[in-house]
Structure 1
Amino acid sequence: MKKKISIHDIAKALDLSATTISFVLNGKAEEKKISEDVRKRVSDYIKEVGYQPNMIAKSLRTGKTHIIGMLVEDISDPFFSCISRGIETIAYNHKYKIFFASTENDTEKTKALIKVFRERQVDGYIMAPPAGVEEEIRALMDDDIPVILFDRYLPSLNTSTVIIDNFSGSYQAVKHLSENGFSGIAFLTLNSEQTQMHARLQGYLKAIEESGCQPVVQKLPSKLSHELSAEMVQEFIKQHDKIDAIIFATNYLAISGLQAIRDMGLAIPDDIAVIGFDDNTHFNLFTPSITAVAQPIEEIAQEVVRQLLNALSNERESRIRRMVMLPVKLIVRNSTYPKVKKKIVHSEPSTMKIN
């Protein structure tokens, strides 16, 4: 088995000190006034021999791995994948790498992943956590390891958090439907106590109350397959023949709902209007196009990384806890066109900013 090359081997081969080699490898050559010629000799040699630094040893010397652990519900979900991609790009520009993992909203899996990331000595955490991991997150913060939550928060923990105005999103969705002549407005959500889902439901209920309509709420289990979700949406519509509009609390519920409506032979919006929460990248391609509450993906990614980098670079900043709430936008498309007017609208969506 080929022996792993060390800094001392490189120093011996180039007749330089191990300290000089370390300065070059750690990007401190200019600071330590090491000549360009020496830097080039070291760079050329490590490329020639294929030297790979021992990251654990390096982290012990510097106290940093420049790795961030990121835990999301499902990395394949369009919302989380877009957020993750944005965070990865911004972090990379600041010389940080991201380790991703999907929790599937499973408490025990999340605890195990936090343990794995701890063993890898990641510098900080970005999480969209399930309930039940409060103790693990509190332990991280007690050890001065920065933790930024996003999408949802844990009420019993004082953490830095980036969320969106979920209440206003569903509130304005109801108002929009009501103004367009829909009165039997249903809300399909998950059977979940997560803070973002609770806020979306409360926004719906408040707007329904103000509109003088009757609330119609259906909570579906969180871990259903797409096919089973579609079947349950069909059954719900059959049991509530007075509804003429549905707000879906997540984009994947909206996809299941659209399949159910199609399979039932119903027309959107003539038979039933539709609004999705989270603007799926394909909603504008549907026929008709789908109205959606859009989250500010880029702004979320920027704020999450900004808070984490501040905490990593400043010990005092790392002890400050902030909750930042960002506005959402209601993107109006053909799936909620007014009942009183039956004509084709232009394909360009209008955008309503929700403060």
Structure 2
Amino acid sequence: MSLTIKEVAMKANVSIATVSHVINKTRYVSPELTQKVERVIEETGYSAKLNIKKIKQYRVGKQSEIAFLIPNTYSIVYFQLVSFLSRYLADAGFILSTYFSEDDLKQEKHIITELMSNRRIAGLIITPVSENASTYKKLIASHLPFVCLERTMYGISVDNILSDNVQAAYKGTEHLIKCGHENIVLLLEKKKLTTIEDRLTGYKKALLDYNIVYSDDLVLRVDLNQEIETEISKRMKEDPVPTAWFAGGNTLTLRLLKTIADMGMECPKDMSIIGFGDDSWCDLVTPTLTTFRQNTDEMAQLAVTVLIDKIQNTKKQTSSYIVPMELTIRKSTQNIARGPFGEKAVYPEEVVLSEEEVDQLRAGNYKVALSFHYSGDEWTKLHEKAIKEVFSRYGIWLLSVADAHFDPELQITQLEGIMMQHPDAIIAVPTDEEKTAEKFKEISKKTKLIFINNMPKGFKQDDYACWISVNERENGQNAAMILKNYFQSQQNVKIGLLTHGTPFFATKQRDFFAEQTFRECSPNIKIVAKRDFFAIDNAYEVCKQMIQENPEIQGLYITWERPALKAIKALEDMSRTDIVIATTDLDYEIASYMANKKMVIGLSSQQPYDQGIAVAIATAKSLLGKNEYKCIGVPPYTVVPKNLTRAWQDLIKTKAPDFKLKKTDY
């Protein structure tokens, strides 16, 4: 019996796709895997077969063609399958002939009848219109070898290669749930196909596993031959209002995007979307589309391997292969900002003052104080600038601005001094959610509290007026995605996490979602070390020790820019400037490293000036006794070298400088 590529893959303990990429040099494969595959090829004598294949002539006449019977080629999946099948069949000396059923049973039956009597056809790869095996009695009884691809037949054991639709739908729904969505519409074609039913199964299972009640009202089945935009727009307006849509096909995704545009809505601001089928346009539309990519390369290789084995009479038992899909996270899905009690946040633009409220503020002679955790960075300066401007506009008196230098005891002392000035409200960033809790609890009984980013331990929603933060779910995810995208073409990447050890709600949430993104969305990345720092200056030693113990680390996630700068200094002192860094928050020094292509490859930034405005308006509302908005979430901003100049202007509100590194940093 001649050796097949499948057997080479099994002996090397890799996929057929990996063997093919090693042989044909069509995609990057790590040196370790390449060496392993090449050794098996040599040991088994498959290398001799490869040499024969290179000079092999196409078969002619009888049994020289393989037929591929599919519904259409407007789907990117079928288009790609045709391309890959043609290539791999050519290697075996066969020509691919493609036929179209148009998902019509009569047309399909006619084509199959013609193929069974055509002596040139050596075998058939079919995407059946029906999944009922009784429909294909004549084909099954014939001597024509066939394999089902993308869809299968039920009621009899047949060879089939399928995408893992259950796993994909589960993973996509899970991604949306972990982004904070619960009202998720599953958009499906109105057809009786297991590929469609499998997607429904995966969707239901994800909801069940996350304790979300399934509702038939959130599954919308449509006929693509009809005007589906009306059905989609109607569902968008019904209760429960969906915050996310999962489209079960690329054509459905396009029609969904068109409906959103026609309604004047925005993705992902008004709703998040996941598509099915990664067409070239998915990376070109705005926003770029989060979607699933079917591994059509591996599916084609498996189909060819199984079919040729059947043609050569070397295959006695039927085979069923389930090929995983890959989730590509882009910009069409957004995390719903959540507050410290799990409540959904509102966007800053939803919180506005009426003319009557402005008049009341100007007549009120209100006094407010600021208690910052630290004021030596752009983040605090821009918050303070925005707050002062808004207060000045509305006649609110800013009593004082305190800087605790990350010292909880100092902040407690400063708060005691502030209270002696009898403020009507205090805006605060608690330095430590445990150590400052008692003092803030005491103050909450005497004046209004507006918190930024952190929440003192033991507080309830009635204890404060409003809580404002960047969407830390998305902030952490964005920083992780920067590293993920940087290493996307590499395998077995080793990274480290440098995280904040102090009890601080914002950084804990940010670090959690960054780590979750690496573990669940980055199969090629392995976290080999995670270390906490408790003070910014400690980040130098913590980073140094982590790299000494794990010299294989190629990239670092660091919770924000100031400890990142300490870590950069440690890496420079160790001559490890080959390690790349993703972090959060923008200032001049971290931007300089990015602009000069030194270690920092990108960051996710809060929008401190815009957040400061939101803080000031929320405070103004609370002064008037209007606390209907308890939680405000500000979207983060992804900054990479190509948009650094624009980002600086958007975030820092000044013209971007030249970003020159200090001489000591070279």
Q: TM-score range by the shorter chain?
A: 0.7 to 0.9
2:70 maps to 1:72: yes
Structure 1 residue identity aligned to 2:225: L
**CA separation of 1:82 and 1:185: change in aligned 2, threshold 3 A:** same
* Match of residue 155 from structure 1: 154
Q: Distance in 2 between matches of 1:70 and 1:136?
A: 18
* Match of residue 84 from structure 2: 86
2:118 maps to 1:116: no
Q: Distance in 1 between matches of 2:260 and 2:317?
A: 48
Deviation at 1:286, TM superposition (A): 1.2
Deviation at 1:136, TM superposition (A): 5.9
* Match of residue 44 from structure 1: none
Higher relative contact order (CA 8 A, sep 6+): 1
* Match of residue 225 from structure 2: 224
* Match of residue 127 from structure 1: 126
Q: Contact 1:107–1:133 (CA<8 Å) still a contact in 2? A: no
Q: Distance in 2 between matches of 1:75 and 1:255?
A: 16
Deviation at 1:104, TM superposition (A): 1.8
* Match of residue 196 from structure 2: 197
Deviation at 1:112, TM superposition (A): 0.8
* Match of residue 554 from structure 2: none
Deviation at 1:243, TM superposition (A): 0.5
- Equivalent positions of 1:160-175 (< 5 A) are 160-175=159-174
Deviation at 1:208, TM superposition (A): 1.4
Structure 2 residue identity aligned to 1:330: L
- Secondary structure of 1:120's counterpart equals coil
Q: Distance in 1 between matches of 2:306 and 2:331?
A: 38
Q: Distance in 1 between matches of 2:95 and 2:135?
A: 23
Q: Distance in 2 between matches of 1:193 and 1:135?
A: 16
2:107 maps to 1:105: no
Unaligned 5+ segments in structure 2 are 1-58, 338-470, 489-520, 524-666
Deviation at 1:345, TM superposition (A): 4.9
Unaligned 5+ segments in structure 1 are 1-52
Q: Distance in 2 between matches of 1:104 and 1:330?
A: 28
Deviation at 1:246, TM superposition (A): 0.4
Instruction: Give TM-score scaled by structure 1 length.
Output: 0.75
* Match of residue 325 from structure 1: 322
* Match of residue 286 from structure 2: 287
Structure 2 residue identity aligned to 1:164: S
Q: Distance in 2 between matches of 1:74 and 1:284?
A: 23
Q: Deviations over 1:185-243 (max 9, x none)?
A: 1101012221111111010011112223343101112x415xx2333322222334611
* Match of residue 186 from structure 2: 187
Count of aligned pairs: 289
**CA separation of 1:68 and 1:136: change in aligned 2, threshold 3 A:** farther
Q: Distance in 1 between matches of 2:194 and 2:165?
A: 9
Q: Distance in 2 between matches of 1:132 and 1:200?
A: 16
* Match of residue 246 from structure 1: 245
Q: Contact 1:293–1:328 (CA<8 Å) still a contact in 2? A: yes
Q: Contact 1:163–1:324 (CA<8 Å) still a contact in 2? A: yes
Range that drifts further, 183-192 or 344-353? 344-353
Structure 2 residue identity aligned to 1:131: S
* Match of residue 333 from structure 2: 336
Q: Deviations over 1:235-279 (max 9, x none)?
A: 222334611000001111011111111111111111100001222
RMSD: 2.4
Q: Contact 2:112–2:139 (CA<8 Å) still a contact in 1? A: no
- Secondary structure of 2:219's counterpart equals strand
Percentage of identical aligned residues: 20
Range that drifts further, 140-149 or 170-179? 140-149
Q: Contact 2:163–2:323 (CA<8 Å) still a contact in 1? A: yes
- Secondary structure of 1:335's counterpart equals coil
Deviation at 1:133, TM superposition (A): 6.7
Deviation at 1:132, TM superposition (A): 6.5
* Match of residue 267 from structure 1: 266
Q: Contact 2:131–2:151 (CA<8 Å) still a contact in 1? A: no
Q: Distance in 1 between matches of 2:184 and 2:193?
A: 23
Structure 2 residue identity aligned to 1:239: E
Q: Distance in 1 between matches of 2:105 and 2:142?
A: 21
